[in-house]
Amino acid sequence: MSYLAKRKFYYSILLISVIVLLLLGIFSLFVGTANIGFLDVCRILASKLPGIQKLVSTDNIRGSSADIIIKLRLPRAVLVILVGSGLAAVGAAMQSVFRNPMAEPGILGLSSGAGLGATIAIVIGLDKTVLGLSAAAASAFIGAIATVFIVYNISRTGHRISPTVLILAGTAISFMNSAVIQLIMIFRRDRMDYIIMWTMGSFSSPSWNKIAVLLPFLLPGLAVILFHARDLNIISTGEETAKTLGVEVERTKKFVLASCSIVTAACVATSGIIGFVGLIIPHLLRLLVGTDQRVLLPFSIVGGAAFLLVCDTLARVAAPPAEIPVGAITAVFGSPFFIALLIKGKRSVM
Amino acid sequence: MRRKIGLFTIAAFITVLVIAFNACASNVPAEESKQGKPDDTSAATSHAPENGEDAGQPAGNSNYPIAVTDSKGRTIRLENEPERIISIGPDITEIIFALGKGDKLVGRSAFCDYPPEALEITAVGDFYEWNLEMIVSLEPDLIFVSAMNTEENEKKLMDLGINIIFINKTESFGGVYETIGLIGKVLNSETRSEEIISRMKNDVEKAKKAVDGLDRPSVYYVVGFGEYGDYTATGETFIAKMLDMAGGANIAADITGWSYSLEKLMEKDPDIIIGSEDAVKYFREASGYKELSAVKEGRIYAIDPDLLEIQGPRLSDGLLELVKILHPGSLQ
């Protein structure tokens, strides 16, 4: 059946998914290591809603409970949703640009570049905050963008970029960045723990500030990627075919990759390196909704957000007081599920 | 047809997630209520005294409000004696207990395991990750931090209006005395802190006297070993200073940066090797290490590394231990 005929159907499914995501988000506000009753959470939330705030009394609720809900759990849920949606959408777009199933947000050396940027800031001992973000985060963003810039220029011949060279250059630079990080850690053993801590992605220190910094990169980035969804469909059938069909392949690639890089860099800078979401979620959804980018991208945005939200909530509550690194949860829960889908998909193809 | 299966799978996926999520969630409050109960009662009571505290405090006993300067050079003003303290750092936890204020601790780091009573206090995270939610829910009026931490956690807690006092690692006994004095001042137990400091000073003097004029055996202190790389207390470190004070000639005194190598260790072939139980065990078995003459001739000694690495009241005990190892019999 054609896309147009199915469009309405997909929209309604997507709408349901968004509602489920919102419910998950609200649900995540109710669970956590601090023991805050269901009604208290409702009252704290209601007291912040304009209109009904006068009707709700929060008198006998501990002040710390309101802080926990409004200043910790709520920004965390929002941040997780944003990062999850960004990483998954970028993964889906990159897999289609590169026509490579192993493509993921970090493939152009972004993650390692961010890691190196953060490492340098940590070792120098930069103590300033930039736009409410730590120096390490700002430096990570710069590192990520600088790395992509180098990779891009290595791979460029005239106005053309070869996806293969891009991936290889990205991988090579990644290895080099990681090696430099390791060297720095050996020479600055006193700072090693900070560096390791940074590279293990985590949402344990959420803030509205981070969200405010992330949004201006994330939203336009996602918009550009979504706008090119149809062209990406054609490119993924082969660049030559796409050209004969009138797609400005190089321009599309450039725009999409630039947006992907900015979105990823912003995500990594605010929450560290979180693997798996950008690689597996697009594949998972491809098995469920098909390869059409016009469908896949919106579903990736919602699916990535929902998946990461579930994982992060588990990371928060599974082993109090410790927080399990969210990357470990995403892999432990996501991999078996994905493998099951792969096996099922293989059968139905055969 | 495949599409339909796909959509069914989505629906199933979502259902499974929701169910799994609910299952987890329903476990959590059950688990929490076990831990949470004592907190709840204390929290319920904490509100009332908080209001009545000013009135309740006998006027004569009140040194507050006070202002102190922490290791980051920040000035912290305390209106009242802190009643709900969180300590993130084993050295601080030890000092607070030594000051007899352990009952004021409502939270600690997972690494604070001395004295054993500390283990009964709620852990709010390790060095790497703080559980901010738990910290806030304990409603502390003061947090001491000596462990590493991220600026983000710091900033977040300050934004939440919680007082934080940072204590950096120090490089001398003088620094440790300062820390103990500072915490004593903050916790309204200055007499006790002075007692601790003078006891430590006595021990340090005793150690210095005992080794005065004695030959200095060459010594290697094991920080890291084996496949993780060889690390030792190089010249600039506090442990190196203590080795020196205890009358040893640290073979790594001329270098900096903690890093060492087995080759160099074999070349220098120290008279005495000191390390943790694990290190001693490893040195006795691993090839290369077991060829060292100190290992072959039984001059490798185990020490509790906490005595040297945790910069608290036990540090002078650590120094005396070193003297006992390096110059047996000299302390009598």
Residues of B within 8 A of A140 (CB-CB) are: none
Task: Evaluate whether B60-188 and B214-326 have a shared fold.
Answer: yes
* Residue B295 to residue B301: CA distance in whole angstroms: 9
pLDDT surpassing 80 at residue A180: yes
* Residue A84 to residue A82: CA distance in whole angstroms: 6
A214 pLDDT tier (thresholds 50, 70, 90): very high
| Residue with the two structure tokens 């993924």 | A236
* Residue A212 to residue A79: CA distance in whole angstroms: 10
What mean pLDDT do residues A156-185 have? 89
pLDDT, residue B82, reads: 92
A241-257 pLDDT, tens digit per residue, is: 888 887 888 888 889 99
A107 membership: H or E segment, kind and range: none
What mean pLDDT do residues A211-239 have? 91
Instruction: Please name the residue ranges forming H helices in chain B.
Output: 2-56, 90-98, 132-137, 151-159, 173-186, 190-211, 238-245, 262-268, 277-285, 293-296, 306-309, 315-326
* Residue A107 to residue A98: CA distance in whole angstroms: 10
**What CATH number did the domain enclosing A7 receive?**
1.10.3470.10
B136 near A CB under 8 A: yes
A308 near B CB under 8 A: no
| Residue with the two structure tokens 């349901």 | A16
Q: Which residues neighbour B28 within 8 Å (Cβ) at sequence distance 6 or greater?
A: A31, A317
A7 near B CB under 8 A: no
Task: Give contacts of A 29-58 with B, CB under 8 A.
Answer: 30-36
Nearest to A121 by CA among A286, A20, A269, A231: A269
pLDDT over 70 for what percent of chain A?
93
- For residue A57, the 8-state DSSP code is -
Instruction: Please name the residue ranges forming H helices in A99-207.
Output: 110-124, 135-155, 163-187, 192-199
Instruction: Note down pLDDT in tens along chain B; length 332 residues.
Output: 444 444 444 444 444 444 443 444 334 333 333 333 333 333 333 333 333 333 334 444 567 888 888 888 888 888 889 999 999 999 999 999 999 999 999 999 888 998 999 999 988 887 667 888 889 889 999 999 986 666 677 778 888 888 999 888 888 899 999 999 999 999 999 999 999 999 999 999 999 999 999 999 999 999 988 877 888 999 989 999 999 999 999 999 998 888 888 888 988 999 999 999 999 999 998 888 888 999 999 999 999 999 999 999 999 999 999 999 999 988 87
pLDDT, residue B205, reads: 94
pLDDT, residue B148, reads: 66
Cα torsion A140, A142, A144, A150: sign: negative
pLDDT over 90 for what percent of chain A?
36
Task: Name the CATH superfamily housing domain B214-326.
Answer: Nitrogenase molybdenum iron protein domain (3.40.50.1980)
Chain A interface, best mutation among B8, B151, B225, by max A CB count within 10 A:
B151
B166 near A CB under 8 A: no
Chain A interface, best mutation among B34, B152, B231, by max A CB count within 10 A:
B152
| Residue with the two structure tokens 């150690």 | B207
The fold of the B60-188 domain, in CATH, is Rossmann fold (3.40.50)
β-bridge partners, B85: B105, B142
Say whether A72 and B136 touch across the interface (CB within 8 A). yes
A71-95 pLDDT, tens digit per residue, is: 889 999 999 999 999 999 999 999 8
Q: Which residues neighbour A243 within 8 Å (Cβ) at sequence distance 6 or greater?
A: A249
- For residue A273, the 8-state DSSP code is B
A72 near B CB under 8 A: yes
B171 near A CB under 8 A: no
Q: How far is CA A276 from the centre of its chain?
A: 10
Q: What is the ipTM of this complex?
A: 0.72
Say whether A288 and B153 touch across the interface (CB within 8 A). no
- For residue B122, the 8-state DSSP code is P
A270, A214 in Cβ contact below 8 A?
yes
* Residue A236 to residue A97: CA distance in whole angstroms: 6
The torsion angles phi and psi of B219, rounded to 5 degrees, stand at: -140, 150
Domain residue spans in chain B?
60-188, 214-326
Say whether A34 and B155 touch across the interface (CB within 8 A). no
Q: C-alpha angle B58/B59/B64, rounded to 5°?
A: 105
The residue with greater pLDDT, B157 or A29, is A29
Chain B interface, best mutation among A199, A203, A204, by max B CB count within 10 A:
A204
Token pair of B276, please?
Answer: 């943790």
The residue with greater pLDDT, B208 or A196, is B208
Looking at this protein, which amino acid is placed at residue A316?
R
The structural domain count of chain A equals: 1
For chain B, the straight-line distance linking the first and the last C-alpha, in angstroms and rounded, comes to: 90
The residue with greater pLDDT, B5 or A3, is A3
* Residue B250 to residue B256: CA distance in whole angstroms: 12
β-bridge partners, B218: B249
Task: Give contacts of B 34-53 with A, CB under 8 A.
Answer: 35-36, 39-40, 43, 47
A148 near B CB under 8 A: no
Residues of B within 8 A of A135 (CB-CB) are: 151
Q: Which residue of A has its CA nearest to B223?
A: A189
pLDDT, residue B25, reads: 39
Nearest to A29 by CA among A60, A75, A61, A63: A75
Task: Give contacts of A 218-277 with B, CB under 8 A.
Answer: none
β-bridge partners, B144: B87, B165
Token pair of B209, please?
Answer: 């006297």
Q: Which residue of B has its CA nearest to A312?
A: B21
DSSP3 helix / strand / coil % (chain B, rounded to 5): 55, 15, 35
pLDDT, residue B40, reads: 39
pLDDT, residue B71, reads: 84
A142-170 pLDDT, tens digit per residue, is: 999 999 999 988 888 877 888 888 889 99
pLDDT, residue B127, reads: 63
B69, B181 in Cβ contact below 8 A?
no
A65 near B CB under 8 A: yes
B110 near A CB under 8 A: yes
Its domain, for residue A189, covers 3-349
* Residue A214 to residue A82: CA distance in whole angstroms: 8
Classified as helix, coil or strand, B173 is helix
The torsion angles phi and psi of A273, rounded to 5 degrees, stand at: -85, 115
B233, B251 in Cβ contact below 8 A?
no
Residue in A35, A62, A134 nearest the CB of B36: A35
> How many other CB atoms are there within 10 angstroms of residue A304's CB atom?
28
- For residue B162, the 8-state DSSP code is -
What mean pLDDT do residues A129-145 have? 81
Q: How do strand B75-78 and strand B105-108 relate by DSSP bridges?
A: unpaired
